[in-house]
Homo-oligomer: A and B are copies of this chain.
């Protein structure tokens, strides 16, 4: 049996003393000129040039961050929009990050009925059947983000793969965007919000996937931008790892993410994407676009420091940090 995905992620967090995941969200307009040039030399087709630039950019970011952060989170949309060329860059990015020892959280927010969810689970986390009778991994992510709107039978196929292959999922519960409350905050007749109901389902889905460290391979997406809701959800799902978006470019601060952590100082991974990978475009760094990867490393180190301080101040610093 494969090692529990939550344990694998928590080990890397402890080893690097850093509960950060960096979003790999490549956008053509924001890729440094030198990378664009190299990509254009390697690939003549204008779609493949974009995809190639993403891969070169990501590899340099991964190299610069691999000793600082435990995990990366490619946002599928940015690759998918370029079709098969973009997906090739996504596959290679995920494989490269794992070769460099990072946990890979595929951010696809997938969801469908059981028969279809099985295909998503096989492709992104498990193995697919091939023409020669064998089966093999395709994306081989460690975690995948999923949407809970369809209920248990749309999630069960993911749980099956998590159990068989030592993989994990993060289920959307309370998202970071301004209008997340339109459905997620609707109160039921017991005065419980939809996000609380979703949180209870997540806790139930994760029960038989709890690892040695007490956390489940079934985690939850809980936004830094809604700290009060996060505190409630921390109680509803004590054993869930929270994937926390909204830090940095979306306005969340280190203090905002503290409620997402348990008293042991674990239980959350905080995501930052644009504020790290495009740090080279900030006032402090913009004179040296060729050093974009160093700017990213600097921003990641600064973020680790901010999280360290906020955890320390709240009395939640993990033992030994």
Q: How far is the CB of A206 from chain B (nearest CB, A)?
A: 15
With A147-B147, A154-B177 in contact, do A129 and B84 touch (Cβ < 8 Å)? no
* B179 with A151: CB separation less than 8 A: yes
* A80 with B120: CB separation less than 8 A: yes
Partner of A131, one of B36, B153, B186: B36
With A87-B84, A113-B175, A147-B149 in contact, do A131 and B46 touch (Cβ < 8 Å)? yes
* A198 with B179: CB separation less than 8 A: no
A81 is an interface residue with CB less than 8 A from chain B: yes
Which residues of chain B are within 8 angstroms of A88 by Cβ–Cβ distance?
83-84
* A77 with B116: CB separation less than 8 A: yes
With A130-B47, A131-B39, A153-B178 in contact, do A83 and B183 touch (Cβ < 8 Å)? no
Which residues of chain B are within 8 angstroms of A188 by Cβ–Cβ distance?
186-189
Which residues of chain B are within 8 angstroms of A186 by Cβ–Cβ distance?
186, 188, 194, 197
Which residues of chain B are within 8 angstroms of A39 by Cβ–Cβ distance?
131
A96 is an interface residue with CB less than 8 A from chain B: no
A9 is an interface residue with CB less than 8 A from chain B: no
A256 is an interface residue with CB less than 8 A from chain B: no
Across the two chains, which residue of chain B brings its CB closest to A117? Answer: B77
* A201 with B183: CB separation less than 8 A: yes
For window 123-177 of chain A, which residues contact chain B by CB distance below 8 Å? 123-124, 128-132, 134, 136, 138-139, 147-154, 172, 175-177
**Interface-lining segment among A104-112, A275-283, A297-305:** A104-112
Counting chain A residues whose Cβ lies within 8 A of the other chain, the interface size class is: 35 or more
A29 is an interface residue with CB less than 8 A from chain B: yes
A114 is an interface residue with CB less than 8 A from chain B: yes
Q: A67-92 CB contact bits vs B (8 Å, 1 = yes)? A: 00000000101101111111110010
A122 is an interface residue with CB less than 8 A from chain B: yes
A40 is an interface residue with CB less than 8 A from chain B: yes
Which residues of chain B are within 8 angstroms of A250 by Cβ–Cβ distance?
113
* A78 with B119: CB separation less than 8 A: yes
* B182 with A111: CB separation less than 8 A: no
Which residues of chain B are within 8 angstroms of A182 by Cβ–Cβ distance?
151-152, 201
Given contact pairs A78-B119, A148-B183, A188-B188, enumerate 6 new A-B contacts (beta carbons under 8 Å). Answer: A39-B131, A46-B134, A84-B85, A149-B149, A151-B177, A151-B184
Which residues of chain B are within 8 angstroms of A77 by Cβ–Cβ distance?
110, 112, 116-117, 119-120, 123
Partner of A149, one of B50, B131, B148: B148
A248 is an interface residue with CB less than 8 A from chain B: no
A100 is an interface residue with CB less than 8 A from chain B: no
